[in-house]
Amino acid sequence: MSAIEGLETAHHHADEHDHHHEAQSFWQKYIFCEDHKVIAKQYLITGILWAVIGITMSVIFRIQLGLPDSNLSWLKPVLGGWISDAGKLDPNFYLALVTMHGTIMVFFVLTAGLSGTFSNFLIPLQIGARDMASGFMNMLSYWFFFLASIIMFASLFLQQGPAAGGWVIYPPLSALPQAHPGSGMGMTLWLASMAFFIVSQLLGGINYITTVINLRTRGMSFDRLPLTIWSFLITAVLGLISFPVLLSSVLLLIFDRHFGTSFYLSDIYINGEALPNVGGSPILFQHLFWFLGHPEVYIVLLPALGITSEVIATNSRKPIFGYRAMIASMLGIAFLAFIVWAHHMFVTGMNPFLGSVFMFLTLIIAVPSAVKGFNYITTLWKGNIVFTPGMLFSIGLVSLFVSGGLTGIILGNSALDIQLHDTYFVVAHFHLVMGAASAFGLFAGVYHWFPKMFGRMMNTSLGQAHFWLTFIGIYLVFIPMHYVGIAGFPRRYYQFTSYDFTHKFMDMNMFISIAAIFTFLAQFIFLWNFFYSIFKGRKAPQNPWRSNTLEWTAPIIPGHGNWEGEIPAVYRWSYDYSKPGAKEDFIPQNIPYSQTPESNFPHENELIATEKVIESQNFNDQFKTHH
């Protein structure tokens, strides 16, 4: 619809399109808004609210695990009947907590909150477009996500509790209400919420892809795209291919639950009754789930890596090392992401030969990941590094990504996975490489683009304090967790008192829990900084980080259509930092080579001839498409 609006604007107001929208009502401006910047903020705020809920849940179950003797009666006003009269957490609710923590963090925070925020915000601004290809679909995308959020949130208040079969909701546990209280209404709402969430992701993803392909400004060829945009594009493609598979697996599960089909059920005797279902396979669900579930890891991680590439290059004052290798490794990771899913299933009874194949494929994915790690390090080398909070979080991401990724090489080895599968070793691994690393990407993005989003600066010192406390806290939580995993502690255990082999590490678990609480408390620095700075932060300058990308050429608070007048044309890649001979240590993308003869390389001087052609193009301005 924004395209249509743009069309009208061009008709009636020719050059004064920005006045056209002043008549918008509150609802159009802030609620059912089609402007990508507002939608991005909606995603971000919703994501932050979900993160608070999701992380609070983890703190509650960490108290249960690390301080099992503590009296939780003080939580009674919030959790009510889930806390027993003796002040103990209900074991069923413990499972609900770990399930909802996983679901919320993976889908609502790190998928919607990260990719939804920054794909929406940065794609039009960095490729030089007025808005997304379809503002209306974009708005729908957010509101479907909102609907999914409402349903999931409502499920938290059910008498029987929310879904509780683990975030992977393996049937038959999730299919049989008689197997667990959380598999009743809670699971129904989980499935409904997830169906709407997938619709939201698909609407968003189609939009991102279309926008990147069709609406790049003059001169913005694919080899001049910032790596952020590359990562968003690849992420959207991953999502578009894999989310429908999750939808189908969810639909089949709904059929099994409500319409008596037997896709996942066979040979079940439960509660004194033999069920009539035969011929189904619980393993089928796992294949379908992980066909999404594994790419999902990269859907979460790739945007964070893209953001990091941009932030590290900007604040090292250096071009990103190996721009093409970075793109190639992202494409490699994306491709391999689709053919490694069964490494989550080595010990499910799957054919061992299949296990060997997936082990080979899984370990190949370490190679492009390693290339990315080395390229980040080389970008830091001989840089002139400014420790903005965004930069600190990006450097932290590289450390977490590598530290967590290395243990993936252990887990991807099917022989070693036999012992480590479903232990805390796995929990430690994926929290570092995918949870914390992606969260750091989110933080880096927020700190870096906050000035563009709200026209104000976040407090740098508080940001730095937030970084150090979070970074140290994350390592204090997850390094010891590896030891617990090596000792064989299984995950999703309500308590460790039932077995002799888990009758140890009491103090280690306490340490992890206390570190988790510290890290949780440190996040309030961020929350305060974020919300305070929106209203009271220092006014942002035009280009606070002296960055090359196009969004910093737009007005400090961009209006509808992002640029007043013409959209800038692009003449160079986005990484001309510290170019030898240049006056400044950065040359924005919209500066033609003809203006920088002092720093041009010979092959760039040849490109001066093409500038006239680029300048005369004007295909992609959505406000000028009526002819």
Partner 1 sequence: MYIIIALVALVFIVLTGVVISRLQGVLKSINKTDSEEVETSGNKFNGAMFIVILIGGAVSITWSYLHAREFFLPEASSIHGRRTDDLFWFSMGILTIPFIIVNFLVFFFAWKYQHKKGHRATFYPENHKLELIWTIIPAIVMALLVFTGWKAWSDITAEAPRDAEVIEITGKQFNWIARYGGVDNNKLGDYNYKLIDAQNEVGIDLSDENSFDDFTNPSEMHIPVGRPVLLKIRARDVLHSVFIPHMRVKMDAVPGMPTKFWFVPDKTTADMRAETGNPKFDYEIACTEVCGQGHFSMKMRLIVDDEATYKKWVSEQATFLSTYPEYLAKVPENLKAKAMKYVPAEAATPAADSSATSAGGAGASSSLR
Q: How far is CA 144 from the centre of its chain?
A: 17
Task: Decide if 507 contacts 485 (C-beta within 8 A).
Answer: no
Q: Which is closer to partner 1, CB of 389 or CB of 445?
A: 389
Q: Which is closer to partner 1, CB of 504 or CB of 626?
A: 504
Q: Which is closer to partner 1, CB of 76 or CB of 546?
A: 546
In whole angstroms, how close is the CB of 505 to partner 1 at the nearest point?
6
Task: Decide if 300 contacts 111 (C-beta within 8 A).
Answer: yes
Q: Which is closer to partner 1, CB of 141 or CB of 423?
A: 423
Task: Decide if 19 contacts 52 (C-beta within 8 A).
Answer: no
Q: Which is closer to partner 1, CB of 306 or CB of 396?
A: 396
In whole angstroms, how close is the CB of 284 to partner 1 at the nearest point?
10
| Amino acid (one-letter) located at 337 | A
Give the C-alpha separation, 73 to 446, whole Å.
37
457 in helix, strand or coil? strand
Q: Which is closer to partner 1, CB of 159 or CB of 461?
A: 461
In whole angstroms, how close is the CB of 216 to partner 1 at the nearest point?
22
Task: Decide if 36 contacts 123 (C-beta within 8 A).
Answer: yes
In whole angstroms, how close is the CB of 233 to partner 1 at the nearest point?
21
User: In this structure, what DSSP letter does residue 591 have?
Assistant: S
Q: Which is closer to partner 1, CB of 566 or CB of 585?
A: 585
b or e along 22-42 (b: 16 or more beta carbons within 10 Å of the residue's beta carbon)?
eeeeeeeeeeebbbbbbbbbb
In whole angstroms, how close is the CB of 402 to partner 1 at the nearest point?
5
Q: Which is closer to partner 1, CB of 155 or CB of 423?
A: 423
In whole angstroms, how close is the CB of 574 to partner 1 at the nearest point?
12
In whole angstroms, how close is the CB of 575 to partner 1 at the nearest point?
7
In whole angstroms, how close is the CB of 249 to partner 1 at the nearest point?
15
Residue with tokens 């420790």: 387
Pick from 132, 158, 166: nearest CA to 43: 132
User: In this structure, what DSSP letter does residue 218 have?
Assistant: T
Task: Decide if 253 contacts 281 (C-beta within 8 A).
Answer: no
Cis amide linkage into residue 592, ω under 30° from 0: no
Give the C-alpha separation, 168 to 427, whole Å.
14
Strand 456-457, strand 273-274: pairing: unpaired
| Amino acid (one-letter) located at 488 | G
In whole angstroms, how close is the CB of 448 to partner 1 at the nearest point?
13
Task: Decide if 424 contacts 491 (C-beta within 8 A).
Answer: yes
Give the C-alpha separation, 13 to 25, whole Å.
20
In whole angstroms, how close is the CB of 613 to partner 1 at the nearest point?
25
Q: Which is closer to partner 1, CB of 38 or CB of 340?
A: 340
In whole angstroms, how close is the CB of 421 to partner 1 at the nearest point?
6
b or e along 80-97 (b: 16 or more beta carbons within 10 Å of the residue's beta carbon)?
eebbeeeebbbebbbbbb
Give the C-alpha separation, 378 to 370, whole Å.
12
Cα–Cα distances (Å) from 356 to 49, 401, 498, in that order, read 42, 25, 34
Q: Which is closer to partner 1, CB of 16 or CB of 500?
A: 500
Q: Which is closer to partner 1, CB of 95 or CB of 334?
A: 95
Give the C-alpha separation, 341 to 336, whole Å.
9
Residues 6+ apart with CB under 8 A from 330: 227, 230, 231, 234, 302, 305, 306, 368, 372
Task: Decide if 212 contacts 149 (C-beta within 8 A).
Answer: no
Backbone angles phi, psi at 273, to 5 degrees: -140, 130
DSSP string, 168-183: TT-TTTTT-TTT-GGG
In whole angstroms, how close is the CB of 305 to partner 1 at the nearest point?
15
| Alpha helix positions (H), 73-226 | 76-79, 91-103, 117-127, 135-155, 185-214
- 44: its two tokens: 């971000």
In whole angstroms, how close is the CB of 298 to partner 1 at the nearest point?
18
Q: Which is closer to partner 1, CB of 30 or CB of 360?
A: 360
162 in helix, strand or coil? coil
In whole angstroms, how close is the CB of 385 to partner 1 at the nearest point?
5
Give the C-alpha separation, 241 to 341, whole Å.
14
Task: Decide if 580 contacts 480 (C-beta within 8 A).
Answer: no
Q: Which is closer to partner 1, CB of 40 or CB of 484?
A: 484
In whole angstroms, how close is the CB of 113 to partner 1 at the nearest point?
26
Q: Which is closer to partner 1, CB of 1 or CB of 521?
A: 521
Q: Which is closer to partner 1, CB of 32 or CB of 505?
A: 505
